[in-house]
Each structure stands twice: as C-alpha cells, then as structure tokens.
Structure 1
C-alpha cells in the first residue's frame, strides 16, 4: 500500500468512526456506538503494532566494495531481532550524507526479522562524488499486519566506509622527457622501461607483460619468473593536486577538487599503463615497486581521500622538495592562483625537474574559488613551468 493510499484509508476510518459516534449519540444506538468503538480500537491496536514492529531490532552494515565515481554499488545491511515476537515486514533505509550526492537510490528489500535469525536487506545507489564516506543512521519503517499504520524510527549503526574512487577525466597528456624507455617502446603497456638492459629476475605479478617472462629460469624453478628492467632516471611522474579551501567550490555543477582528482586519476592510469612510476608526495609512502594495476588502485585511493586544506600548494610542494627525484617530471593540477607557487616552481627547476602546471579554466561563479587567470599562468611560465589550461568538463 502506497503512502498516499494509507493516509486516505486512515483518514476515512477515523472520520467514519467519529461520524458513527455522533450518530450513535444522536440516535441513542448502542449498536452504532459499538461499531464506532471497534473501528477506533482497530486503529489504536494498529498504531501499537506498527510501533512494536520497529523495536528490538539490531543492525550491522556489511563492508561495502570500493566503487568508482558514478558507478552503481550495492549496500547490504544485516537485521536481526532481540525479541521473541513475530513481526510483519519492515523497511530499512540509510540516511545518506548529502556530500555523497547519491542518485538512482533504489528502495531496500523488505524483511521480516525472526528471533535468532539474521536476514539481509539491500539497496543500490550511484555516488556522484569521490571521497571516503561514512554514515551511521538507518531509518526503520514498520506497519501493522493490515498495513493501515506506519511507524518510523531512527537507529544508530556502526559506520562502514564507502570509498568512491575518482572517475578518470581524459585530457591531452605530455609524456615525461626521456622516460627511461629504450628503442621507442613507450606504447607497449606496463613494460617498465623495456628496451634497456635488464637488471634482474623476479616472480611474475599480475599486470606484468608475458613477453618479459624468463622461460629458462621459470622452467628450472617451477614458477613463473620475469625480467625486471632498469627504468632510467626520468621514468616517473610526480603529481600534486591543489586542495586549498577554495577547491571545495562548484565549477559547472562539479566540485573543483573532484575535477582535479579526476584529471590526476587519468594521468596516473595512462602513465602506469605505460610503465612509468607515479608518486603523490605527502599522500603516499611507496617504498617498493608494485605491479601497475595494484599501484593504480593505491593512487586512486589516495586521490579519493584528498580533502580541502588551508595549506597553500606552493608551501606543500616546497616542503616535499627533498623527496622528489632530481630530473623528475612534476605535474601540478590547479584550480586557483597561489602566490607561493612560482617560488616552488623555481626550486623544482633548480633540481632539473620539468614542471607542467595544468589549470581549470576560470569559469566558476562561486566566489570561494578565485580561479587561474592568464596572468597567473604567465607568472608560472616565467618561473619555469609549462602552464596550460585543462579542457572544460560539461555539466552533469
């Protein structure tokens, strides 16, 4: 029974009962009075049963899978009863945070929890924001067996994080100079600098190219081994994403910081697929080389966790100078002007780094976001950066 029909039936029954009471008093009719009393009693019992159906329930939200921004994900909640009572079907729905911007939220599956048994209800949603989200409130809705009355109760549940990875946003890329590849093999997937001298042999890992399998050693050892190549001095990309407080502003229906993370995700996906290393100083602590697909998931998780901060990007870059390999290619994803950034660019240039400053076009009407005008990009070019605008992203 829909909410509208239920409201109509409640009003009709209550009005009918009150009308019968008036008529019974006017006619001094015990029969009509008994009928009206029975109808009011039915509504009273229905209210009590609806309220009881929401009591004595326990909930546990199952761990949620990592999902990419804009993809559908299923949320499952375990429900069980602490009371030895039969109850009708109940609906369990999460109170989702507004920051998630969830769309296509389906109704949850109705369940009838029995004593000592756990049942699972589920629903689906599409998160339109990247980030790590937690919520702890569920809305429990129960009714009487006839479906006349509904009762709703809010319950606190231990939160489980939902990690929403940024969706990669394509844009024209410039490969790092030299990139450590030999023989022009930059387009052969996760080759790790194939075409230069191998430096050793290691166990095969998911994402390694089969053409690098060392068959003779594999036959002797009984397990799959691959050749590992020296990737060269410049075969890495260092990425900084501006996360100043202004990046929380909206740009054509998107959050500026989400756009920057989406562009950075595309760069990471492209470069890791071509054998480069990708570093996010201050966000990751990569101590050893990992297969490209595994490293990509690490980078996407790091980008998903980025939140606005009052620290200027230039200050953050200057603080990480010592961790940046000399001669690296450094990519700066920008949304607004930062007076501390030209100095940081000069420090990077002094270490032989190539700097690519990639900025969102200044089209935001939100006063919180100053934007990057052509004058600021000119200052970055004077400091030694290759500064340009990223492509515009259409409104959702």
Structure 2
C-alpha cells in the first residue's frame, strides 16, 4: 500500500509532468518517469517480499502470569527467490486486534536528544510486553529462519490466537505491504497465587466436621467404619475383614469414611460494573489472584471447595477436584456477571449449607447488609475480601464509586451483620499473603463458643 512518502513522490511526479507540459522540457518528463517507475518497482517488490511465506509459533500452552514466556517463530520461504529486508512482527496478545502495523523508530524529545544523542532504546517485550519485531536481512529460497524471544507482562486469560505479520517496505522504501498470519496454538495464562500459611476463616475450626450427608458418606482414609469391598493390590493386610473373607472364600477388606473439612464456597464477583471492560478486567485479575490463593490453602487443608461466578443472572459453579483445574477455571473467567453481591449470594443458597464457609471476593462497592445476611443459612461464616477500585483505576475511571473503600469498611465495623467473620482489603501493590493472612478485622463473636 502507499503511504505519506509514496504520496509525496507521486505528487512530485505529477508536478514535474505539469511543469514539463508548460515549459516543453523533455527532461522533466524523464525525471517524472523515473520517480513513477521507482514507485511502481517499490510497490511490486514489497508485495513480493511478504508472499509465499509461512510461520509457526511455538510456546508453552500454559504459564503463570508472573512467568516469562519463551516464544519461537519458525519462518519458512516456500518460493525459489530470496527475501530481503523482511520484518517479522509478533503482536502483543494483550493489545487486542491490530491491522496493518507500521514500523516507526522510537524518537526522543529534543531536550532528551540534546542530553543524550544516542538513538532511543526500545523496551524489550520480556520487560514491558508490547510488540516483538525482528528483521531478517536475507532469507534464501526454500530456506528457514528461527527467531526466539521472551515475553513478559501477560495478563490472566486465554489467548486463542494473536496475529503475526510479515512486513516489508521493499528496498527503496516507497511502498509497504503486510501479510497477516494466524497463529493456531492457544495460550492460557493462569492467575498468580501464593501459598498461605493460614487463612483465618478456614482456620476458625481446627478439626474436620460433617455438615451434610453429602460430605459424610465418602470413602477414604479415616477412623469411622464405612463398609467392605474386595481386596485390591496395595491394600494393607491389617484392613482384611477375616470373617467376611472366610464366608466368601476371597479376601475382603474394610473401608473407612474419609474425614473432610467444612465446605467452603468462594464467590468471585465478576459483574461487569459501570467501568469499561478493560478497567474492570484489571479488578477481576486481582480477584482471581486472591481466589487462587484461598482455594489453594483450603484445598490442601482438605476442605471441599466450590468456586462460583456469574454469567449474566445465572451462577456458574466449579467443584474443585484438583487445584490445577481451579486455576484453569479462573483463567477463563470474564467480567460478564450482571448481578450485585446480594443477588449473587441469594442465587448460591442451594450451595451454602448450614455451618459452611463463604468467602466473597468483590470490589469495594456499596452493599445491602440486611439482604446479604438474609441470603445466608444458619451458622454460615462469611469472609469479605474487598478489592479497592480506586487503587487500580486511579483517576481514569469514568464512573467514580459513590462510596470509598474506607467508608464501606467503617459502615461494616459499626453495623456488622450476623455471620460476618472477617474483613480484608486489598489495594494495588499490597501483598496477597498479608491481605489474606492478616485481615483488617476478625469478629470474635463469629466463632461458636466452645471451639
């Protein structure tokens, strides 16, 4: 395609032709013809440079958002003729869709250039993310080139395909062409988490307990008798039930009930809110990191964990069987909820059994305490983990919150609702471990007497 430089050459050629017509100067036609020929040659060469090529991107399928991703680009020239001055552009997956990239050298301000006349250095994708650009000076016909780099700054999410481009301005630089190539391998970036030493809500009951029939009839390691079954390789001989073995004529072993902790429901408030999708996505990333840390601790402690979010007005639940699956579920979470915190708690009534734990991870917004308390079953203990929107959005939010985080917490301290166990507040830059292990406030009355 043509751009400003091409249009200047084209305008200059037309001007020379007009001058030649008026002055009857043949050499003006000759100069105009040279300029037009150079423009046409540059257009065809740049078009040829980006055709007949293929690219394969290789990287790990899953990484933590704090890790650096190693990316390898394999470029193959399927044509017989070589390619010269070919640029390969791997777009930033977090930047969204972009069309027809143009390479521009980074420039300094005049004052900076006077202090340091050296060319401006471009930030590496490993440090600040962004676009990765490579220049292949020469690629022979049928040849291959391998390009590798490290990419950092990736946000939580699933990137099914982000574009890669071949870019060329030819040899003269009077026209440019771009060829977009889809990259098939998807990338999943899971939320970062920390291994907690404690979480007061879960640690408030030091011993496992059964809260419903669903959790009291599971087989596993324990001390209560459950039943008998046939002997399997690896079963300890001390569990053999000899009377039943003698009656059946084959080895039979005893089974025991598995001890389970108090069930925990972790609600991740993914409502869309009034801010833009990008602004609320940053809040949701922080919520996902907090949720992953809580789920990891509770799951390792033996508590049945259920994660909850919303799609519109409908709840989406995930029973945590393995922590890795929980990370994948959080990675795919989008800000598509349409209900407030109180409505979300009401929709989770079937999942909240009496005596269970309920951890709400939500932006610090105004809430109806009485309605939230009415949605909780008896003896249900609630930990509120607030994420401060002001620290993440700053002054860029188009819809400032009518109630600040401090005002919300003060109102809860003055008028707590029944079942409220603890309040935590996470601001941008705060450590996950400090926020979760040391809440701002723990209500002693929330712990039943005798514990």
1:169-180 alignment, distance < 5 Å: 173-174=199-200, 175-178=202-205, 180=207
Structure 1 residues 378 and 201: CA distance shift in structure 2, 3 A: farther
Which residue number corresponds to residue 52 of structure 1? 48
Within the candidate set 263, 267, 271, 2:290 is matched to 263
Which residue number corresponds to residue 7 of structure 1? none
Structure 1 residues 379 and 331: CA distance shift in structure 2, 3 A: farther
Which residue number corresponds to residue 8 of structure 1? none
Contact in 2 for aligned 1:58/1:81 (Cα 8 Å): yes
For normalisation by structure 1, the TM-score amounts to: 0.65
* 1:339 maps onto 2:335 in alignment: no
- 1:341-372 CA distance string (max 9 Å, x none): 6434433232x322111223574443354554
1:31-70 alignment, distance < 5 Å: 45=41, 47-59=43-55, 61-62=57-58, 64-70=60-66
Which residue number corresponds to residue 166 of structure 1? 191
CA distance in 1, matches of 2:153, 2:163: 18
CA distance in 2, matches of 1:130, 1:247: 21
Report the alpha carbon displacement of residue 302 of structure 1 after superposing the two structures with TM.
1.4
Report the alpha carbon displacement of residue 280 of structure 1 after superposing the two structures with TM.
0.5
CA distance in 1, matches of 2:148, 2:194: 31
CA distance in 2, matches of 1:46, 1:277: 66
Within the candidate set 314, 334, 343, 1:307 is matched to 334
CA RMSD of the aligned region, Å?
5.2
Task: Provide structure 1 residue ranges, at least 5 long, that are not aligned to the other structure.
Answer: 1-10, 16-27, 183-191, 203-212, 218-226
CA distance in 1, matches of 2:151, 2:426: 29
- 1:126-150 CA distance string (max 9 Å, x none): 1342122344433212355x68678
CA distance in 2, matches of 1:153, 1:251: 28
Which residue number corresponds to residue 394 of structure 1? 429
Structure 1 residues 362 and 121: CA distance shift in structure 2, 3 A: closer
Within the candidate set 137, 158, 168, 1:142 is matched to 168
Is the deviation greater in 130-139 or in 114-123?
114-123
1:83-162 alignment, distance < 5 Å: 83-88=79-84, 90-98=86-94, 103-105=128-130, 107-108=132-133, 121-142=147-168, 144=170, 151-155=176-180, 157=182, 160-162=185-187
Structure 1 residues 36 and 358: CA distance shift in structure 2, 3 A: closer
Report the alpha carbon displacement of residue 331 of structure 1 after superposing the two structures with TM.
0.6
Is the deviation greater in 302-311 or in 193-202?
193-202
CA distance in 1, matches of 2:228, 2:295: 26
Report the alpha carbon displacement of residue 339 of structure 1 after superposing the two structures with TM.
3.5
Aligned residues between the structures: 345
Which residue number corresponds to residue 249 of structure 2? none
Structure 1 residues 307 and 72: CA distance shift in structure 2, 3 A: same
Contact in 1 for aligned 2:362/2:387 (Cα 8 Å): yes
For normalisation by structure 2, the TM-score amounts to: 0.58
